Structure 1
Amino acid sequence: MKEYHKIQTVFKRDPETNMKTLLENNYSLPEFEYLAGNQWVFTEKVDGTNIRVMFDGEQITFGGKTDRAQIPAALAKRLNELFLPQLELFKELFADGACLYGEGYGAKIQKVGINYRPDQDFVLFDVKIEDWWLQRRDVEDIAQKLNLDIVPIIGQGTIAEMVEKTKTGFTSIWGDFRAEGIVARPSTELKTRGGERIITKIKCKDFPKTW
C-alpha cells in the first residue's frame, strides 16, 4: 500500500543558511498562507521512524517509510506481537482493507528515542481506507478498538500560535524533554486543488534553542 505522503514544513527554508533555518512568513504553500488565521489542530510530532501497517482483507503486513526501508528487529517483533493476534478483528473492522500509519519510536530509534521509552513501540497517527483518510474521531475509535496508542492532541490555534509554541519550545507528553515539534491540520480537513492533503509541520529545532 502507498507510502505516507510528505508533510511540508509551514515556511520555506533559507538557502543562505544551507536550508537550516526558515524564512518566517514565507509560506511553503499558498494554502497555508490563506488558512493561516483559521483554527488548526496541533498534535505532537514524534521523533521516530515511519511505519505502515497494511491489511489487504486477508493478511497483515508491515512496511517502513518506503518499500525499501528496514524495520529494526526489536520494533518488528513488537509489531508482530501487537497486530498479528488481531487479524480477525482487522477483518471485522476493515472488510475492504486499510493502511494504518504510525511512528515506531523508543530506545535506539533516533538519538532521542530513549527519552520516549526504554523499549520500542508503535503510535498511530493516520488511517486510510481506499481513497479516504479517516477523521480524527474515527482514528481514535480504531485506536481504542485495537488497543493502540495515538499521537496526542496538544492544542488548537492559528499558524502564528503554532509557530510561537515551537519557538518557545514545549515539553513532550512522553516525559520531561523538549518535544520534536508540531503536526497541524485544519480543524476541518481540506485538500489542495491538486488533491493533496493540507497538513503541515514545524520543528522546535528550526528555531534557536530556548532550553
Structure 2
Amino acid sequence: MMSAEQQRSIPGYDYGSDELAASPVTLEDLELLKQAVLFTGEDERYLRMAGDVLESRTEQVLDVWYGFVGGHPHLLHYFTDTTTGEPDAEYLARVRERFAQWILDTCRRPYDQAWLDYQHEIALRHTDKKNRTDGALGTPPLVPLRYLIAFVHPLTATIRPFLAEGGHPADEVEKMHGAWFKAVTLQAALWSHPYAREGRF
C-alpha cells in the first residue's frame, strides 16, 4: 500500500482523509450491493492478483482509456474549457494520476468505510464538486450519469488484454476479469448516488 508521502504526491488524492464526507451509503447497503453483483471473497482474491499484474501497466492502460476519451469529442467535452474550446491539459494530467491509483485501489483496498467514503467523494467530483479539486473551473460542471454507466463497458473490455499479459492460466485471467467487471459495476452503482432523487437510490 502507498506511503503517506506517495499519497500526498498525487494531486487531489485524499483517500482516508478526515475531511472527506461520510458516504450516505451504509456498509450494510454495500454488502447488499456486493451480493447483487455476485461479488465474493474469491473475487477479492482475484482482484489482488489483478493488481499485481496491472501495477506495472497502469500507464499503458491509461493510454488506452485516454485515447478512447480523446477520440470522442462528446466525452472530451467534460475536460474542455468552455471559454477557449481547448482541453484543459493540467486537469487531464491531474485526473490521470488519480485514475492510475484508482486502478490499484480497486484491486487492493479493502472495501471498508474509508473505501466507501472515497467512492462518495469520486461521485461528488463528477457532480456537486466537479472541477473544484483541480481548479478546472472553466470545464462543464457535471458529468451526466449516462456516461458513468456507459463507461463500465470500456473500462472492463479494455482491461482484459492487460490481465492476459501476466502469464496466468486462461481460467485465472477470466476470473480476474470477472472480478474487475463486478468491482467496476459496484463502483458505478455507488457513484450514481448524487444523481438520484431523495429516497430513490
TM-score (ref. length: structure 1): 0.27
**Which of structures 1 and 2 has the bigger CA Rg?**
1
Q: Which has the higher contact order (CA 8 A, sep 6+)?
A: 2
Which one has the bigger strand percentage? 1
Which one has the bigger helix percentage? 2
TM-score (ref. length: structure 2): 0.28
